[in-house]
Structure 1
Amino acid sequence: MRFRKDANVNANDFYGPGAGVNAKFFQSPSGNVRCGIDFDDPQIPSGCQASTSVRSNTGVTCLNRGNSVYSTQLISGAAVSKCVNQPFFVGGSGNPGQDTVGGRVLQYGQIISVGGTTCESAAVGISCWANSVGFTLARDRNDTYDPGYGQR
C-alpha cells in the first residue's frame, strides 16, 4: 500500500470545535475512529482515536473503555501509538449531546489534506500520514509505518 496524496474534500468543511480547541475533525463511517488534524494550537499533534481497536503493532495495549482507548498521533516525524483518557481527537466533544459529536463523516474513498497531514478513509480504516510516516487505525487494525513507507 502506498499513500495517496491528492485530497478530494475541502478541509475547511471539517473545521469545528473539539474539547477546548478547534481543528479539522472527522470520523469513520462507522463512527469508531475519530480524528483531528490542523489544530488551532500548534502544540497539539494530528491524530485519531478509536472507541474499539486491537493491540498496536508497536505493542501498546489499551482497555478499549473509559480512560484507556487506542490513539495514534503524528509527533515529531513519528507515528506514536498511545492509550488516551480524553476525547482529544473527537470533534464536537466540547458540546456533548449534540448530533455533531465526532465531526463530519469522511466517507470511504475520501481524502482530506491540510497543514502537511493527509488522511484517507477506507474500509480497512482511517490512514493518516505526514513527512513519510503514518498509521492506519480501525476496529481490527492498529498499525504505524516507519519513515519512507508512504513515499512514491
Structure 2
Amino acid sequence: MADKKPAKAATGKAAAKTAPRFTAEERAAMRERSRELKQSKSRADGEADLLAKIAEMTGSDRQIAERLHALITATAPDLEPKTWYGMPAYARDGAVLCFFQPAAKFKARYATLGFNDKAMLDDGSMWPTTFAITALTPEGEKRVVELIERAVG
C-alpha cells in the first residue's frame, strides 16, 4: 500500500468558509464589550449603563435582572455595577465578579447568574459557577444572597 500524504489544511478564503462562525448575538456582544473597554466610566456611569440594559429587557429577564440588582447591591454594596459584553455585571477592583445573562441575549431557554474566577465559590476540586434562573422565588433569592456573600469572601 502506498504512503498517503496528509491532507493540507484549508487556508485563506477556503478556511474562512469552513471555520465556525460567531452568531449575530455573539458578534453584537463582542461589539458591546469593545465599546465598554474604550469608555472609562465612573461608578455612577456604570450603574446607569447597567440600569439602561435592564430597562431594554422584557418579561421575566427584566424582572429577574431588576431583583438581582437589588439583591446584589444590598448584599455587596462595594461591588461596582457595570455592563460586561452588554450584560449587567458587578466588579471588584475592575474585575467582573458576577454577571446576569438574560435568556433572550443568546436565545437560551433560561437566564443565568454567572460568577467569574474572582468569586470565592471554591468547594473542593469542582464547583458550579453558573446558575440557571427561570424565576426568582423567595428560596432562590436566599440562595443568591448566600452566593454573593460567599463570592465576595
More helix per residue = 2
Larger radius of gyration: 2
TM-score band, normalised by shorter chain = under 0.3
Q: TM-score, normalised by structure 2?
A: 0.26
